[in-house]
Structure 1
Amino acid sequence: MANNYYLKASEDWAKKEAKDSGRALKAAAVYLEHAGNWSGHEMETGAAEVIKGAHVVAGKLIKGAGWGAEEVSKGIKDIGHEIAKLGKVIETKKK
C-alpha cells in the first residue's frame, strides 16, 4: 500500500495537484510506518526522519500553503527510497 500511495503522490505532483499529492504522500508515510511495524523491522533513525518529514510536507500541501517545490520533490523521493529499502529487507527475510 505504501508504494501505491508513493506512486500516486508522484503522479499527482507531476500534474500539479498539490492537495491530492499531499494526501497520497501522507498515506504513503502512514503505510510505510505500519509496514515496518508489521514486518517486525525496527525503523532506522533516517527512516523515521523521512516519515516525519513526509508528514510535514504532506500537511503543507493539504493546507495549500508554505511548501516549496524542491521540498516536495525531496519528500516524495525520500519516501520512495525508504519504501524500496524496507521492501528489500522484507524480501531478504523471506529467503
Structure 2
Amino acid sequence: MSNTHSPSDLGNDRNESPLAGWTPEQIEQGKQWVEAWKRAGEAMEKLRAEELQKLDGYRAIEMLCGDYDYTVEPRAPKPYSGLVEQQYWFKKAAGRD
C-alpha cells in the first residue's frame, strides 16, 4: 500500500470512496492490517487489565517518587484535611462564620 496520494488519486467526486483507486489485493491487505490491530488492541487491553490487577500502590508510588519513607515527616500524611480548612474559608467568605 502506498502512503502517498495526490489529490487526483482520491477522485474529485465527494461520493467516491477514498479506496476507489485501490486494487483488490490492497483492499485485502488493508482488511488484514485492521484485523491485526484489532487483535493487538484486544491483547494489549487484556495485558493492561492484568497489570492493573497486580498493581501494588505502594510500589507504584515508590517507582514514581523514590523509596522515601512516607510514614515520617515531611512526607507523612497530615492529621487534618485541607478540605476542612477550605470549607472554613468558604464559610467565612460567605459571612456565615
> What's the TM-score, normalizing by structure 2?
0.33
Higher helix share: 1
> Computing the radius of gyration over CA atoms, which structure comes out larger, 1 or 2?
2
TM-score normalised by length of structure 1: 0.33
> Which is bigger in relative contact order (C-alpha 8 A, separation at least 6)?
1
